[in-house]
Structure 1
Amino acid sequence: MNELHLLLILHLLGATIWVGGHILLSVVILPQVWKEKSVDKLFNFESRYEWFGMPALLVMLLTGARMAYLYNVKIDTWFAFETPIERVISFKLSCLIAIALFALSAQFYVLPRLKNNIEKLPLMTFHILSVTVISIVMLILGSFVRYGGI
């Protein structure tokens, strides 16, 4: 097994945890929260998933950066969009920035207000569904590497 294959396995394991957790949140937890009009399950899920999801995200960041270098896409061309592989990496990084912005908004604006105000649930739902869709898009983008990029 070479380095690239090992990195890909670790990257896919991280993606399984990250994307799977967000799909679970979107299709199981979130409907229960809406049905019960109680955000307790949401906060409970977040506190339990965070210790598992964040390390998975870190693994994906580290393995993704290393794989980019192994594909000869250096940091100075990460947003060049010139070659097919550069496009995949650039689009994935753009998605990652969007996820980071949603995460910052959720952590510092939405979640603190949601604890005391159920009326923030639609905004939190938008954040959750957006991150889930973006995460799935990143997964799909990654699959194009096998075919030389997009």
Structure 2
Amino acid sequence: MSHHLLLIIHLLSAAIWVGGHLLLVFGFLPQALKEKNQIIILDYERKYEPVGMTALVLLVITGILMAYKYGVSIEYWFQFETPIEKVVSTKLALLLLTVLFALSAQFRVLPKLEKNAEKLPEMTFHILSVTIIGVLMVVFGSFVRYGGL
């Protein structure tokens, strides 16, 4: 697959992943917190999750394929030696953080949130963290255009 097509898929997937989280943070989270109504968040999660998770999987696949096209194969991950390695490694580290937050939310916070609105602050922390990480990944990805960090 051509690098350009991979980039287009990657950028569209990033728009869905990060855009969906920004919509959650600015569109739904304030209302849920104001009303102390966790159902607003849970309803959004149920609707967004199939699209968002598909976008995240595509981001990972296209990101890895593009890293290989830039010569950053698995043996160079987390080396932080060349400018492109720095971008790829930083984005991989942020991805691992995202996965940890997602697992925590899925198995620890969301089951409790279903029954108890008092878990909204903890879920808010998870939502804000994943959103900030997503925005950071977009920013770091933009440095590839300039040859890396």
CA distance in 2, matches of 1:141, 1:111: 30
Separation (CA, whole Å) in 2 of partners of 1:87 and 1:65: 14
What is the aligned partner in structure 2 of residue 141 from structure 1?
Answer: 140
The alpha-carbon deviation at position 36 of structure 1 amounts to: 1.3
Which residue pairs with 2:95 in the alignment? 96
The aligned residue for residue 112 of structure 1 is 111
Q: Give the partner amino acid of 2:128.
A: L
Give the C-alpha shift of residue 37 in structure 1. Answer: 1.0
Aligned counterparts, 1:10-21, within 5 A: 10-21=9-20
Cα distance in structure 2, aligned partners of 1:123 and 1:51:
23
Match of 2:40 in 1: 41
User: How many Å apart are 1:35 and its aligned residue?
Assistant: 1.4
CA distance in 1, matches of 2:120, 2:44: 15
Unaligned runs of 5+ in 1: none
With the length of structure 2 as denominator, give the TM-score of the two structures: 0.98
Please provide the CA RMSD for this pair.
Answer: 0.8
2:21 maps to amino acid? H
Match of 1:79 in 2: 78
Shift of 1:118: 1.4
**Corresponding pairs, count:** 149
Report % sequence identity.
58
Q: Which residue in the other structure is 2:68 paired with?
A: 69
Output one character per residue of 1:97-149: Cα deviation in whole Å (capped at 9) or x when no partner. 00000000000101111111211111100000000000000000000000000
Q: Please identify runs of 4+ aligned residues in structure 1 that moved more than 2 A.
A: none
Q: How far off its partner does 1:54 sit?
A: 0.6
Q: What is the alpha-carbon distance in structure 2 between the residues aligned to residue 124 and residue 35 of structure 1?
A: 14
**Secondary structure of 2:27's aligned partner:** helix
Q: Which moved more, 1:107-116 or 1:7-16?
A: 107-116
Q: 1:31, CA displacement in angstroms?
A: 0.4
Partner of 1:79, secondary structure, is: coil
Looking at structure 2, the residues matched to 116 and 58 of structure 1 have their Cα atoms a distance apart, in angstroms, of 29
